[in-house]
Each structure stands twice: as C-alpha cells, then as structure tokens.
Chains A and B, each alone.
Chain A
Amino acid sequence: MRFRSPAYTVFSILNYTFIGILSICCVLPLIHIFAVSLSSKAAATANIVNFWPVGFTLDAYMQTLGNDKFLQALMIGIERTVLGTAISMTIVVMAAYSLSKSNDRFKGRNMYSWFFIFMMLFNGGLIPTYLVVSNTGLYDTIWALVIPNAVNVWNIILMLNFFRNLPAELEEAALIDGAGHLRTVFSIYIWVSMPAIATLSLFTMVIHWNSWFDGIIYLTSSDKYPLSSFLQTIVVQDNFAQTGVDPEKLEQISNRTVKASQIFIGALPILIVYPFLQKYFVKGIVIGSVKG
C-alpha cells in the first residue's frame, strides 16, 4: 500500500463498500427476474420473491419451451443472427481489404472512404428508409433484417486498421506467387485475421440478437418475428393474445413467471458470449479511440 494515513484507510473501506454495492446493483435486476422465473405462481403473485426463488419450480420454463410460437421466434432469432453476421462480415472484410491499401496504390480510395463516412454522419431517417426497404422487395422477409444494415462502417474501420498492421511481406509473397487480390484476401488474409474477425463477428451477433425494431416494422405478423421482436410484443405491449400461451394453463402459472422466463431466455445468449466479449471490447474501444 502506498498510502498509509488513517484518512486514506477510512476512504478505502468506504470505497470498496461503495464500488461493491454499485457493481452488484448492475446485475440485481437480472437476478431478480431470474428468481421470479424460477418461483411458483403463488409466490410471484404474492410479490414475495426478491433475489432467490420462492417455491422453486421449472413450470414457467416448461411452459415457455413447450410454446411453439416461442420456439419458432427463437429459431428465427438464431437464423437472423447467423445470416446477418455472415453477410455483414463478408462485406466488411472485402471492403476493409480494399480500403486498407494506401492512397497511391489504390486511387479512388479516398473517394470510397468519404462515401462510407458520410453514411455514418447522415441518414435519411426512419420513414424514407422504411419506404426504400418496402419498395425493394425485402418487406415481410427476413432479408429486410439482414441486408439494409449489412454495411457496418465502424467494423470496416476497425478491420482495415487490423489489415494495415499485418506485415507487408504477407501480401508481397502472395502477389509474387501469382495470387490476385481476391485470393490474397480469401485464402491468406482471413486466416491470419481470425482473432479480429471473431471479435467483430461476436459484436455483430450481439447487435443482431438484440435488434427488435426492424422486425416489428418490416414483418407483418408475429409468426415471422425473431425473438427480440417477439419479446417486445409480449413484454412491452403486453400482448399475450399473440403469444400462443394456452389461457387455461396461464391460470396455473401466472403470466409474471412466464414473462420472466421468456425475458431470461432472451438474455441468455448475451450472458453466454459476455466473457468472450469482455476479453476484447476493452481493447477495441481503446483502438477505436486512437486516431486511425
């Protein structure tokens, strides 16, 4: 310890306590909802569940996982996440490769850069975007959720910075061996960039899993909703009629515990990938904040 004054010791104790409490507060809501989801209907309706299940039961999860509509939304959510990430990352890697070339080797690079950066700063807004998506045949298909947002300019910037830091010999060797740009990027660059690609993919997956608004405006019925949009209609709009829970069974298990279980299942994929995310995002933010 560098500081030994009594005042600092007092401060230290208070500081540990304060930070400890504050940190726990950041997950308490999640713990609460998890506890509710594992509690009996009686306990949940009596409002006695805090952070530990009362009258432990898996009924709510049984109900949720036995609900075809929920399972369908879950599958569409996964489909959307996988498809969206694959499309977006392919486009990002290809664009980043070209933009990672220096200005004198790739004339026109500057023009492309501004083309993308301007898109970051200005957009047409909700209604015109909605009209364009509707008029290009994507309306009411899963493509409306994965194509319009595929060009992630921020990911392109991070990826091209990564490519720039690869040794120049790598590309020179490939070119001497007669590989074109296409082969260089797909059979060499993507393999040596796997850590960066994995990281950006993880973040893209989180964005897709969490997106709910596009599903609600571009898809016409809740049968086609990915999980986030589906949860939005039940949880926020409280629209239980659409969710396929049998009203009689609902009596037995209380809509509160079922809701809680659905919310928790929606959050689960994020909780699972969180340790991997945490490993990278600190680095990513710091890289991103340094002038590229």
Chain B
Amino acid sequence: MNKLDTGAASTSSVPSGKKASRAASYWKRTGMLHVLLLPAVIIALIYGYTPMLGIVIAFQEYEPWLGIRNSPWVGLEHFEYLFNYPDSLQVIKNTLIISGMKIVFQLIVPVLFALLLTEIAKSWFKRAAQTLVYLPHFLSWVILGGIFVDILSIRGGLLNRFLAVLGIDPIFFLANGDWFRIVLVVSDVWKEFGFSTIIFLAAIVSIDPSLYEAAEIDGANRWKQVLHISLPSILPIIIVVGTLSLGRVLDAGFDQVFNLYNPLVYEKGDIIDTFVYRIGLLDAQFSFATAVGLFKSIVGFILIVISYRLAYKLANYRIF
C-alpha cells in the first residue's frame, strides 16, 4: 500500500537532508488530502469556531459600534441578571416542562406504534401506513404552523368544528397557555412519532425469530411474547434513544414554538430559544441574549456528555 501511495503525487520542491525528504514525501502523499479538507476547515473556523469566541460578549456590555475590543467588561452581571430576572426563570421553566413532556411522549408513542405495526401481517398495509406516518417529518414548521393555525382557529377551525359536533364549546387553543403547551406536545409527537418509529422497527426486525418459536412451543401467547421477548430485546435501544434525548432537554423546539406562538401565550409558551431571539435580535440586547444562549449551550453540552456516558453504561452504546 505505502509503495503505491508514493505514486499519488502533488509536486513539491526537491528536499535536502533526510528529515526534510521524509517531510516532503509525507507532504507528497497526503498534501492533497489536507487541501481537500481546506474549504470545510475554513468555513468551520469562521462560522463554527469564531462564534464560539464571540461568546465573550456575554461578559461585556457589547455595543456594535464599539466592537468586542472596546466594549466594557461587566463580568458575570448578565448571568446574575439571568437568575434574578423573573421572565428568564419562567422561560427556563417553560423550556423544561415543554421539552420534558415531548421527550416522554416521543419515546412512548413510537415504541408502542412500532410494536403494533409489527403485528400487521399484510405488508401492503404496513408499507402504506409507514408512508403516511413518515411524511410530516419532512415538512417544515412554517408550513405546518400555517396549517395548524388554520385548523386550531377558534373561528370555525376544523378541530373546533369537530368538537362542536361532539357538543364541546370552542377552545382557543393558541391563546390559552395551558392549551398551547398541549398543542406543542401533541403536534410535535404527531410530526415526529412516525420517523422515530424507524429505529425501533429496525430493532424489532433484528430479534432472533427462534426466541418466538421457542416461546410458542412453551405455550406463550402473543401478548406474553411481546412482554417477555420483544420489549426486553429492544430495551437497550429505548434506553439509548431516551438518554440521548435527555441531552437536548433545553431544545424545546424553536421552529415549532416560533411559528405557533403569539404574545398571549408568552407566559407559558416562551422557551429559551425564542426568548434569546426576541431580546437579542429584536431588542438588540446582544450581551444578555448571548449570556442566555451560552448558559443553554454549556448546560446542553454537559447534558450531552452525561447522556452519552449513561447510554454507554446502561446499554453499552457508543457513537464514536
């Protein structure tokens, strides 16, 4: 292999001395590999890593016309403010409640759906169902936001008309904070449960069929088989998916909330990301918004590391 590699050539000057020649031949073999990585590295440095340095403005009173170099330093003032400002505490609370509910249901529903779908014997039916339930995953929250605002409207929205048939008074889903949270969780599960099912279906398919045969000979009915074979077999995957989603507990779904909320539900529906957007870009409080964002990033990073550790410990799962 190595001999062949020397044929891979990019030109370089004739080296003098043994060390230089080794360096030159290394460059000859792999120089182009570095060059091929260059565009990705440059973009990552500018738009991935420079913003990480930019978080220093969380410790400043940043003013755009002064720049980072001349803006005054204020230490941890913004963080103190963050933990004393009632609005931001409410926002953190909302984020945890909304994304906590999402995590729970986004785990239960796909597992149940995968188990039920496995019981479908007609393969055309199964395929058709899969085609329909995977679809919403690919639609953006702009499209779905527009659709849901229409359907949930109090003035003759589809859902309220349906409730009227059942004799229930119209509900102002998008104006009442408690209903708004429910809408967020249900619509999120509606959009993603199908797609999340895929991984559990794959796990169920890979269960050794001889286990079921043996159970059947022992007289276990289908319910017992699901309870004692299917569920325990996919438990590691359930644990992995569950712990990994804990790492994203501070991401309550910016796109979704942003496209469904309005000032009437800020109190119970505002999450960290929408809050950062409003105070940062609309009110131009760059430093405070960055501090909130940094708080979220750090907690998020720690949670990801912990959840990967947990996933490894509990289910022997490693991503790298």
Assess whether A127 is in contact with B8, with CB atoms less than 8 Å apart. no
User: Which residue in A23, A147, A185 is a CB contact (below 8 Å) of B128?
Assistant: A23
A42 at the B interface (CB under 8 A): no
User: Which residue in A132, A179, A217 is a CB contact (below 8 Å) of B54?
Assistant: A132
**Residues of B within 8 A of A (CB-CB), count:** 96
Assess whether A291 is in contact with B138, with CB atoms less than 8 Å apart. no
Contact residues, B1-43 vs A (CB, 8 A): 1-2, 4-5, 7-10, 26, 29-30, 32-37, 39-41, 43
- Kindly report which residue of chain B lies nearest to residue A291, judged by CB atoms: B318
Q: Which of A60-68, A78-86, A92-100, A246-254 contacts B (4 or more CB under 8 A)?
A: A92-100
Assess whether B133 is in contact with A26, with CB atoms less than 8 Å apart. yes
- Kindly report which residue of chain B lies nearest to residue A185, judged by CB atoms: B36
Assess whether A212 is in contact with B296, with CB atoms less than 8 Å apart. no
- Contact A26:B136 (CB < 8 A) given known A124-B52, A235-B142: yes
User: Which residue in A46, A105, A136, A263 is a CB contact (below 8 Å) of B46?
Assistant: A136
- Contact A125:B294 (CB < 8 A) given known A156-B40, A235-B146: yes
- Contact A125:B146 (CB < 8 A) given known A19-B129, A180-B8, A274-B138: no
User: B33 — which chain A residues lie within 8 A by C-beta?
Assistant: 97-98, 101, 106, 181
Residue from the set A46, A184, A285 with the largest chain B CB neighbour count within 10 Å = A285
- Kindly report which residue of chain B lies nearest to residue A20, judged by CB atoms: B129
User: A23 — which chain B residues lie within 8 A by C-beta?
Assistant: 128-129, 132-133
Q: Which of B80-88, B98-106, B119-127, B176-184 contacts A (4 or more CB under 8 A)?
A: B119-127
User: Which residue in B39, B121, B290 is a CB contact (below 8 Å) of A127?
Assistant: B290
Q: How far is the CA of A31 from the CA of B31 in the complex (A)?
A: 55
User: Which residue in A2, A123, A260 is a CB contact (below 8 Å) of B297?
Assistant: A123
CB distance from A176 to the nearest CB of B (A): 6
Assess whether B147 is in contact with A263, with CB atoms less than 8 Å apart. yes
Assess whether B144 is in contact with A126, with CB atoms less than 8 Å apart. no
Q: How far is the CA of A213 from the CA of B276 in the complex (A)?
A: 14
A24 at the B interface (CB under 8 A): yes
User: B64 — which chain A residues lie within 8 A by C-beta?
Assistant: 131
Assess whether B148 is in contact with A125, with CB atoms less than 8 Å apart. no
Residue from the set A8, A101, A126, A176 with the largest chain B CB neighbour count within 10 Å = A126
B232 at the A interface (CB under 8 A): no
A16 at the B interface (CB under 8 A): yes
A191 at the B interface (CB under 8 A): no
Assess whether B10 is in contact with A15, with CB atoms less than 8 Å apart. no
Q: How large is the interface on A (under 10, 10 to 19, 20 to 34, 35 or more residues)?
A: 35 or more
Q: How far is the CA of A128 from the CA of B291 in the complex (A)?
A: 10
Assess whether B146 is in contact with A259, with CB atoms less than 8 Å apart. yes
CB distance from B59 to the nearest CB of A (A): 12
B313 at the A interface (CB under 8 A): no
Q: How far is the CA of A123 from the CA of B55 in the complex (A)?
A: 10
Assess whether A289 is in contact with B199, with CB atoms less than 8 Å apart. yes
Q: How far is the CA of A136 from the CA of B121 in the complex (A)?
A: 57
B70 at the A interface (CB under 8 A): no
Contact residues, A213-262 vs B (CB, 8 A): 213, 217, 228, 231-232, 235-236, 256, 259-260
A112 at the B interface (CB under 8 A): yes
User: Which residue in A125, A176, A212 is a CB contact (below 8 Å) of B55?
Assistant: A125
Assess whether B4 is in contact with A175, with CB atoms less than 8 Å apart. yes
- Interface flags for A247-283 (1: CB within 8 Å of B; 0: not) read 0000000001001100100110011001001100110
Q: How far is the CA of A97 from the CA of B37 in the complex (A)?
A: 9
Chain A interface, DSSP helix/strand/loop, else mixed: helix
B143 at the A interface (CB under 8 A): yes
CB distance from B108 to the nearest CB of A (A): 14
A57 at the B interface (CB under 8 A): no
B172 at the A interface (CB under 8 A): no
User: A18 — which chain B residues lie within 8 A by C-beta?
Assistant: 116
User: Which residue in A175, A211, A263 is a CB contact (below 8 Å) of B5?
Assistant: A175
Assess whether B51 is in contact with A124, with CB atoms less than 8 Å apart. yes
Residue from the set B32, B44, B140 with the largest chain A CB neighbour count within 10 Å = B140
User: A182 — which chain B residues lie within 8 A by C-beta?
Assistant: 10, 32, 35-36
A73 at the B interface (CB under 8 A): no
Q: How far is the CA of A151 from the CA of B37 in the complex (A)?
A: 11
- Interface flags for A175-203 (1: CB within 8 Å of B; 0: not) read 11011111011000000000000000000
User: A52 — which chain B residues lie within 8 A by C-beta?
Assistant: none
- Interface flags for B227-268 (1: CB within 8 Å of A; 0: not) read 000000000000000000000000000110011000000000
Assess whether A236 is in contact with B259, with CB atoms less than 8 Å apart. yes
Question: Which chain B residues have a beta carbon within 8 Å of chain A's beta carbons?
Answer: 1-2, 4-5, 7-10, 26, 29-30, 32-37, 39-41, 43-44, 46-55, 57, 64, 113, 116-117, 119-121, 125, 128-129, 131-136, 138-140, 142-151, 155-158, 161, 190, 194, 198-199, 202, 216, 221-222, 254-255, 258-259, 273, 276-277, 280-281, 286, 289-290, 293-294, 296-297, 301, 304, 318-320
Q: Top 6 nearest A-B pairs by Cβ distance? A: A124-B51, A47-B156, A128-B54, A125-B293, A210-B140, A235-B146
